[in-house]
Structure 1
Amino acid sequence: MENLLRYAEKLFDEVEIAVYRSREVSANVELNEISMTGVRSGAVTVIRGIKDKRLGLAIVDSDEENRVKEAIEQAAKMARLNSPDEKWVSLPKSGKYREKPKPNYELKEASPDVLVEMLVRAIKLTREMDKHATVAGGGGEISWNESHIMNSHGIDVSQEGGLSYMLLEFVGRKGNVVTPGITEFEARKDLNLNVEEAVERGLKKVSWAYNVKSSKNEEVPLIFSPEAIAFLFYGALFPAFSGERLVKETTPLAGKVGEKIASEVITLYDDPFHELSLLHAVSDDEGVPLRRNTIIENGTFKGFVWDNYWAKVYGTESTGNGQRDLRSGSIRIGLNTVVIEKGKRSLEDMIAEIERGYLVDGVQGAHSSNPDNGNFAVTANPAFLIENGEVVGSSVFLIAGNVYELLKQASEVSREQTVMPVMYTVVSPHIKFENVKIAGK
């Protein structure tokens, strides 16, 4: 790598070389049968060089020296053809990193048999616990990733680590009732996925879903599950935290730093070092040291997250949120591990106090939300009706509104937190919202 960097420095004013190696083991399940297993591995090298403020970018699916050298030359040709970016300042400089976390090396050499055994056990448990239920879909993955990032300003950081996760989709069929698909996640930085708990959680919801209840237009308390929170916020809220959107004036949070944008029960931060985080990294994809960034504290908006480019354009510093798209090689602003702070009481206690309301376990259509203003329209499915402090059945209804108005209606968060590997890691409790308008279906 060092020899390649020295070679690249002869062609550019400044240059970055990033090498990514990965290994992924997967297994899928469909209708109580293992449908596929696989192992994939490979390497990708990205060259990003700047000459006279002209960007040259090249990607090669290899870490072999001769092919990387060819990619460097290709990036130099591209730089000569591109127009200068007058906003360009520089690549980042080296910084101080935290101590690297110790990865679990069992993940590096794991075989598909590990996942198959877990999925077979999940299918067997499902059959034993509910003869009407099926593991209709899902699967598992064990991934191992290594990266090495160097640039001409002294950055030289390597990191490695892995994770495992399992997703199970349960469907129950009893009489004329076919339940909606009910998903359960398990994700860890080791191989100790708790299959039994995932099956138990899923089948408990299936048992609720056998009793179908009609919904109506009303204003009721809603408890959103971690899965529902992750998908809704990913579409409607999280993009608004990007500093790029601030510069381009496409975030509704412009000018809102220091203002209340949510209920006081909401504290949200980006913390790659949280105990439930699935990351093993100490730097982002530009080599900038990672850190905890508080975004909402007791309902107050504290600030945006940045990569190197947009931070320098705005006149601030990167927050360690530069993430690389390995399809294009480009850097974008992204969150590392979103954590919504937990509360003091259990979900069970929260449900026990509701006279009439719903537990929203999943939302459909959240990807169509508008992060420019926070508006969303989703179908709550599955959702579970709560009456007199107990879950009495399942329902489906529509929720349309604005995510910032919804945040101000939050009244409590549960003490349990769940890890959701949705695009990036989201660690979330259940959140209760008061007086939410729903439209029955």
Structure 2
Amino acid sequence: MMEPEKASKIISKALGRGHFADIYLEETETTFIVYDNDRLEKLVCGSDKGAGLRAIYGDYHTAYAYTNSFAPEELMSLAESLARLTGSTQKNITIDEIKKIPFPEVKRPPQEESLAFKIDLVKKANQAARGASPEVAQVQVTYHDLHKKITIVNSEGLYIKGERLYTLLAVQVVTKRGEVIQTGYEPLGGAIGLEIFEKTPPEEIALKAAQRAILMLSAPKAPGGTMPVVLSAEAGGTMIHEAVGHGLEADLAEEGFSVYAGRIGEKVASSLITVIDDPTLMYQRGYYQFDDEGIFPEKTVLIENGVLKDFLYDRLSAMKAGKDSNGHGRRESYRFRPIPRMSNTYIAPGPHSPEEIIRSVDKGLFVKKMGGGQVDTISGNFVFEVTEGYLIEKGLLGEPVRGATISGNGPQILQIIDMVGNDLGFTIGTCGKDGQGVPVSDGQPTLRIPEIVVGGAIDQK
């Protein structure tokens, strides 16, 4: 642990005549396993440590430097480099207290389990997927756990210590029947330990992925055209994250790269739509107790009953806006400066039952699982793949269809959604922005979009 007196001197040197400075110290333990084609393809186990030193100065510019050493003399050398930009001055920075924030109870911390146990998890998933059908052509299982110890000290006198913990298992299955090839994917994870697999065993995750890929082999191609689409809660919040969420990050709004820039207080969505980002959802993949700038976050209502209420701020974007940060400054590691990021972003549940929503559609598409896609974060235009979809005919779920895509404009889609379910489902992922990735989850209830463009696939039979 860095002594408060030494930390104060380093920060004082880096701060100079600037507005703000901080030190971010990080120690990481990780295991990464890839099992592909029935063999152990990749195995990475190790630790890393480093420190990032930042100063905000002048017209809100950022100077940032990092090192993989905790040595005070090394950090002072970095501080002197930053001081060439921030200017030299003497400021007494007092550390009032050291705050230690314990992580919520974890029954089976991954860093305390054997490597053999983790490899066995991966092998069980592989075996289950392989055994699902002779038409399974390829299986890839990925396991990743990450344990971080972090310390943040800043020029406002903050000294805070805490931990981050993530566990992830993901299975991708490729099936083949003649010339038809289909893919199924299923992840499981969160800010939680290996006890997550006691409730949902790796075999169950693998079978979900395999069954999805097998089902789609028999499905006819999806019809194309403009039609009603029902997004199930199980489909997760991919659309809200990609097509809307990034536009609610304060740096993009401030730079004019968001359709929501300058629109606080305006109606930007259907009155049924409330969008929330909540880092405090315990054990969700985007959970944290304080952000990577040492700020305790709160549930942030971004859009309330269709009206734009707020953006996601880090310290820098909040300074520029003359506001306080709402605890969304995140970074991938000590090698990166913090920027505004989503955490657990979701559309709040509404008044309709999922069954009622499906019954309301005479002819359309039911999206049970969303796949990857492309998004223009400035305009909100998107195209997403549907990895599991079904026709809706006369208010009933019909046959599965394959190869569908849905395309539209995120902000416009939010305005026309006319039914919102009373359920809520989450998907997990790693969100990329400015070259760095952070763990997130995205959620939504069942939603009815009365009109959207559905693209049908070219039949490969």
**TM-score after normalising by structure 2:** 0.81
* Alignment correspondent of 1:302: 309
Query: Corresponding residue for 1:36?
Result: 42
Please state how far the C-alpha of 1:291 moved relative to its aligned partner.
Answer: 1.3
Q: Distance in 2 between matches of 1:109 and 1:204?
A: 33
Cα distance between partner residues in 2 of 1:404 and 1:279: 23
TM-superposed CA distance for 1:51, in Å, is 7.3
Deviation, structure 1 residue 255: 3.7
Query: How much has 1:391 moved relative to structure 2?
Result: 4.6
Q: Are 1:239 and 2:242 an aligned pair?
A: no
Whole-Å separation in 2 of the counterparts to 1:96 and 1:300 = 40
Residue 122 of structure 1 deviates from its aligned partner by: 1.6
What is aligned with 2:163? Answer: 160
Counterpart residue identity of residue 27, structure 2: R
Match of 1:88 in 2: none
Q: Determine the structure 2 residue equivalent to 1:409.
A: 416
Pair 1:187-2:202 in alignment: no
Question: Could you list the per-position Cα deviations for residues 391-432 of structure 1 after superposition, in whole angstroms to 9, with x for gaps in the alignment?
Answer: 523322443321111122332346241241332322413533
Assess, with a 3 A threshold, how the Cα gap between structure 1 residues 111 and 296 changes in structure 2: closer, same or farther.
farther
The residue identity in structure 2 corresponding to 1:145 is K
Quote the offset at 1:294 in angstroms.
0.8
1:170-319 correspondence to structure 2 within 5 Å: 170-179=173-182, 181-188=183-190, 189-191=192-194, 192-193=196-197, 194=200, 195-224=202-231, 230-278=237-285, 281-319=288-326
Identity of aligned residues (%): 18
**Equivalent residue in structure 2 for 1:115, among 109, 118, 140:** 118
Counterpart CA distance in 1 for 2:57 and 2:268 is: 43
CA deviation after TM superposition for structure 1 residue 205, in Å = 1.9
1:438 is matched with 454
Query: Where does residue 364 of structure 2 map in the other structure?
Result: 357
* 312-321 vs 228-237, which moves further: 228-237
Aligned residue in 1 for 2:90: none
CA deviation digits over 1:38-83, x for unaligned, max 9?
Answer: 21211110112467788543201133x2xx4223323322431x37
One-letter code aligned to 2:376: N
- How many residues are paired up? 426
SS in 1 for 2:129: helix
Q: Which deviates more, 274-283 or 161-170?
A: 274-283
1:425 aligned to 2:440?
Answer: yes
Contact 1:212 1:393 in 2 (8 A): yes
Change (3 A) 1:342 1:183: farther
Encode CA deviations 1:100-147: one digit per residue, 9 max, x unaligned. 542426223233323322222222222333232255224111111110
- Shift, 1:365, TM fit: 3.3
Indicate conservation of the 8 Å contact 1:344/1:415, yes or no: no
CA offset at residue 436 of structure 1? 1.3
Change (3 A) 1:358 1:108: same
Distance in 2 between the 1:290 and 1:96 partners?
19
Aligned to 1:382: 387
Q: Aligned partner of 1:6: which letter?
A: S
Structure 2 residue 5 is the aligned partner of structure 1 residue 7: no
Unaligned runs of 5+ in 2: 88-92, 432-438
- Cα distance in 1 for partners of 2:356, 2:186 equals 21
Q: Tell me: CA distance 1:284–1:137, structure 2 relative to 1, closer, same or farther (3 Å).
A: same
- Output the amino acid matched with 1:183: Y
Counterpart secondary structure, 1:42:
strand
Rounded Cα–Cα distance in structure 2 between residues aligned with 1:387 and 1:152 = 59
Contact kept? 2:52, 2:335, Cα under 8 Å: no
Unmatched segments (≥5 aa) in structure 1: 85-90
Aligned partner of 1:257: which letter?
I
Task: Summarize deviations over 1:200-242 as a string: whole Å, max 9, x none.
Answer: 4323322420223233432222234668654444433222112
Quote the Cα distance in structure 1 between the aligned partners of 2:256 and 2:115: 47
Match of 2:68 among 55, 61, 65: 61
Worse overlay, 70-79 or 157-166: 70-79
The change in CA–CA distance for 1:401 and 1:281 in structure 2 (over 3 A counts) is closer
Instruction: Summarize the Cα distance change of 1:394–1:137 in structure 2 as closer, same or farther, 3 Å threshold.
Output: farther
Is the 1:343–1:414 Cα contact (8 Å) retained in structure 2?
Answer: yes
CA contact (8 A) 2:363 2:391 kept: yes
CA contact under 8 A between 1:5 and 1:15: conserved in structure 2?
Answer: no
C-alpha separation in 2, matches of 1:72 and 1:223: 57
Cα deviation, 1:130-183, whole Å, max 9, x if unaligned, reads 23225522411111111000113111111113121111111222344321x211
Please tell me whether the aligned partners of residues 406 and 455 of structure 2 are also in contact (alpha carbons under 8 angstroms).
Answer: yes
Letter in 1 for 2:300: N
* Preserved CA contact (<8 Å) 2:236 2:442: no
Q: Is the 2:101–2:160 contact (alpha carbons within 8 Å) kept by the matching residues of 1? A: no
Query: Is the Cα contact below 8 Å between 2:184 and 2:211 reproduced in 1?
Result: no
TM-score by length of 1: 0.85
Instruction: Give the equivalent residue in structure 1 for 2:434.
Output: none
Report the equivalent of 1:332: 339
Secondary structure at 1:129 match in 2: coil
Superposition deviation, residue 95 in structure 1: 11
